[in-house]
Amino acid sequence: MTTHTNLLGGPEPTYLPENEEAYRLLGEESVAPVEVAAKFPTFSLAWALLADEAFERGAVVESYAYARTGYHRGLDALRRAGWKGHGPVPWEHRANRGFLRCLAGLARAAGEIGEKDENERCWQFLQDSSAEAYAELHG
């Protein structure tokens, strides 16, 4: 894990806890994301995968709902991890990626349904949280 030096005196990076069982189910056992989300509803990566799948098949409102669920579950987890509403959420930390992907999915779906303000706000939140995630996910 990379240690970040904060030269401006802002908040330290937030690192969400890992859920090895959920990763194992998705990876080694190829369990469907819907089943993983049902078993581990706080695991944002499962919601991000559901949002991506729905978006790819043209179910934009469904994608929006999945992304919003994962986003809110991720916010809850960030707060439990000490996040105070701002500061870095590093992309390179695997457990942060589900939240960051949900945030990008929410921005993408919001844009598709005409929620311009939410679209812009979510992309900015992603960029403020992790420049790396923004570069990777903003399309």
CB crowding 63-89: b at 16 or more within 10 Å, else e: bbbbbbbbbebbbebbeeeebeeebbb
Can you tell me the distance from the alpha carbon of 90 to that of 43, in angstroms, rounded to the nearest whole number?
Answer: 17
This prediction has a pTM of 0.92
pLDDT in tens, the chain (139 residues): 444 555 567 899 999 999 999 999 999 999 999 999 999 999 999 999 999 999 999 999 999 999 999 999 999 999 999 999 999 999 999 999 999 999 999 999 999 999 999 999 999 999 999 999 999 999 7
Can you tell me the distance from the alpha carbon of 133 to that of 138, in angstroms, rounded to the nearest whole number?
Answer: 8
Q: Tokens in use for 32?
A: 């469907």
